[in-house]
Structures are given as structure tokens and as C-alpha cells.
Structure 1
Amino acid sequence: MLEQILIRRIITGLALFLAASAAAAAAEPDQSHACATVAEASARLACYDKAFPPSSGATILADMEARRQQAVEDFGLNRQQRVERLPEQLRETEPDRIQGTIKGVLVRATGERVVTLESGQVWLLTEVTSRGRLKTGDQVTLREAALGSYMLVTSTGVALRAKRLR
């Protein structure tokens, strides 16, 4: 008899708990977030990201994963092909040449010249030649060349093969 009373009380308590849970679940859709009404997926995600910004650690990991995924997708493409895949407004941010002023020129024992620009970039001229005299204050242009190499072009138009060190 005591067991039956105990079982009835447990069943009654469980029924009340389930009824309360169902009522709470039914009330949730009325209290949903405004972002749930946004139809387009990326706009909805942007809305939720704005409302509930991810922690900085999660953002860094997501950025790293996105860059890794992009690198996998771009694997095997040359620079021109990668630029062509960019949206139009981002294509201008990928220069194919830069101009700079020489801050200093160092000649190594091997005859190679190391050119430091005022921007802080350091370039090694890989050709040992007397062509293209360079001195502090000269304006130079660095441009892309074939097969991922670069050329340093002096103000007199002499092109020298270069490799960026820093």
C-alpha cells in the first residue's frame, strides 16, 4: 500500500514536470531572437554575430581555419589566377609593383648587393653585376617577374633580379 502511494506521487510529479516543460517549450517561439526572422543565411549569421559576438579566441581560430581552407582552395593557382578569383573591390589591394626610395646599399663579400628601402623592406639583388648603380636616395620600382620572381628597376631603367629578405 505504501509502495502504491509512493509510485502515484512519483508519477504525478513526473506528469507535472513534463507538462511544465511542454508549456515552456511552447512559449519559446514567441520569445525568439529578432535574427531568427532574417531569411538569407549569411545575413542571419551576421545578425547573430553582432548580437552575440564570439570570444576573441574563437575568432582567431575561425580566421585561421578560414585562411587554411582558402589556401587549400587556391593550391596550385598562380598569383594572377588567385587575384582573378577575388571580388572586384579587393583586386586593387594586390599590387603588382611598388615604388620606394633606397635607404642604404650593402655589398656582401660575394658581390651581391643588399638594398634597404625607407619602408623597411630589405631586398637581395641575386645577380652579381656592375649594371645598375644604386645609391641612397635613388627611386626604384620593384615589380613581379616570371615564375614568382621579382625585378628591381633603377631610375635609369636597369632591371635587376631581386629577392625579398625582410
Structure 2
Amino acid sequence: MVRSCLSLAMTFALLFPAAGFAAKRDAAPPPPALRDLIACRNEMDGTRRLACFDRASAALQEAVATEAVAVVDQKEVRATREALFGLPTPRDVSLIGAGVSQIESVVREATVNSDGAVVVTLESGQIWAQVDGRGMRTPRRGEKVTIRRATLGRLEAVFEGGTTRQFRRIQ
């Protein structure tokens, strides 16, 4: 019993660090300009270290200026994710990721199309159309709405008062 527990513990110790290492290996390496800047931290001599940082920071600044490297903060990433929420995107776009599970907005305009489905334009300009065919009142201008991911890849709009219907983004 002790031997099998020890064997199991050793198996976990060997597998889990390897899995963590493999995940890190699959991540895209930093661009050369950033990698060179990071490498300057390894320089022990103060004069050479400063010269390295000066050289590498100038190269990084040039890379940003020529758009070889893009620098974005979390606020910009979040705004991009929200702007693309509900639209089909390539799976390999690592900048966008799957970080947004819902957006909250306000109805700018709502109409009913010829099929009887509600079409909602949000403050952001996004246009969403009802797809579940269930009747609902037309949302009012200024009404709060949360659009969220639901089961099986569906998207639901939850309006003030709790009305929840399936929607898809059309623009």
C-alpha cells in the first residue's frame, strides 16, 4: 500500500511539472526587441548593463514606432474583446482570447423586423437580432441589457426586468 502511494506520488510529481513546462513552451516567445531588453537584466557589470538597456530600449522604441511590435494595455485588450464579442473570430487570435463572457450596454434603438424578431442597436453600435422566435416586448431606448454566453455556444440577451431571449450579433 505504501509502495503504491509512493509510486502514485512520484508519477504526479513527474507528470505535472512536465505539463506546466509544456504549456509554457507552447506560448509564443516575446519579440526579439523585448527579449533583448529582458536579457539586459543578466548583465552584472553596471556600465555594460546600462549600455545594454540603452541599446535595447532604443531598439524596442523603434520597433514600436515602425509597428513591428504593438504595445497594448489591459484596458485596450478588454475594449477589443468587447467590440468583437458575438462575432466569429479565428481561434488562434491570442490577443483577443476568450476573456469576455458577457457585455453590458444600453439600448440605443430597437425595432421589430419583418419576421417579428426584435433587432437591437446598442450604445456601442453593435447590432443584435433575436433568433429564438419567442415573443417579447420591444426594449425601450436607454434600457440596460446584458448579453452573455449561454450553453452550447448560444448568446442570450437579458433586458431590464429579466426578459431573456436568444440573440446573435449581426453587425
Counting helix residues as a fraction of each chain, which structure ranks higher? 1
TM-score by length of 1: 0.49
TM-score by length of 2: 0.47
Which one has a bigger Cα radius of gyration? 1
